[in-house]
Structure 1
Amino acid sequence: MTSLIDRDSGYMANALRQNFFRAGHAHAGVITLLSLICQPFVDATRLSPAWRWFVRIGVPVSGTLISAGFFFSILSPAATEPNRAISLIYIGALGLAFCVVSLGIGLLRAR
């Protein structure tokens, strides 16, 4: 944390790091709101209890994975490109898409 506060550390001098920090925080906020919005809709679905649990937990976990991918892929202060942790973004995005589509199917079945 002190490297973020100290302007002389150069930690935030990297444009890639600034963009990834911004993207990580933005995705965390938006997907947190999405997960809160999805919670009451899960109760209205005609999904089995296991699927309801999967969708209810999957949306916020996916958001955590996406944000973690942005943050962990640029841990080194000398990073000029993301490391292999960027794959967490893709894993989280696939999980998020799967959960949201499952929620939509469950809502359509409840009609």
Structure 2
Amino acid sequence: MFEISPAAQTTAGIVLLAAITVASGGWLLLQILRGSVAATDFQKAFYRAGHAHAGVLITLGLVCLLLTETTSLTDGWLWLSRTGVLIAAILMPAGFFFSAMGAGRTSPSRWIVLLWVGVVFLVAGLATCGVGLILA
């Protein structure tokens, strides 16, 4: 067994508490799918994608956070490996949700840029963690 650093422990605790918001997003999605809240087919698809990405990326981000503890990464590389996927877990769902907001919307708004910024953090975080593990 390995020890987890105080920074990683604090980050994990905050992420787990923040993950509660995914449940409230699920409640909203359920209301939309039941027809209680009006949404276009485009909005339904983007809200589903946002909700799914949030849950999966939080889980993957926590795995990367723990795996980073076994590497010898330092400074900015340590930060990117530890938090890159978790930042993506915020930005990518936000891109899906925010770009689909608005009555009757049938295509994404400019908020879609958050999705692509999140993709950059996802790839950078995964690559840094992977390389850090290989070099450890």
- Which interval holds the TM-score relative to the shorter structure? 0.7 to 0.9
| Among 32, 54, 69, the residue aligned to 2:58 | 32
Aligned-partner Cα distance in 2 for 1:71–1:44: 35
Aligned-partner Cα distance in 2 for 1:59–1:80: 29
TM-score w.r.t. length of structure 1: 0.85
Moved over 2 A (4+): 4-9
TM-score w.r.t. length of structure 2: 0.71
Deviation of residue 38 (structure 1)?
1.1
Query: What number of residue pairs does the alignment pair up?
Result: 106
Deviation of residue 104 (structure 1)?
0.8
State the superposition RMSD in angstroms.
1.8
- The one-letter code sitting in structure 1 at the alignment partner of 2:59 is L
- The one-letter code sitting in structure 2 at the alignment partner of 1:82 is P
Task: Give aligned-pair identity as a percent.
Answer: 37
Deviation of residue 8 (structure 1)?
6.4
Quote the residue 2:21 is aligned against: none
Q: Tell me: higher relative CO, structure 1 or 2? Use CA pairs within 8 A at least 6 residues apart.
A: 1
Quote the residue 1:50 is aligned against: 76
Matched residue of 2:100: which SS?
coil
Quote the residue 2:133 is aligned against: 107
Gaps of at least 5 residues in structure 2 are 1-27
Quote the residue 2:91 is aligned against: 65
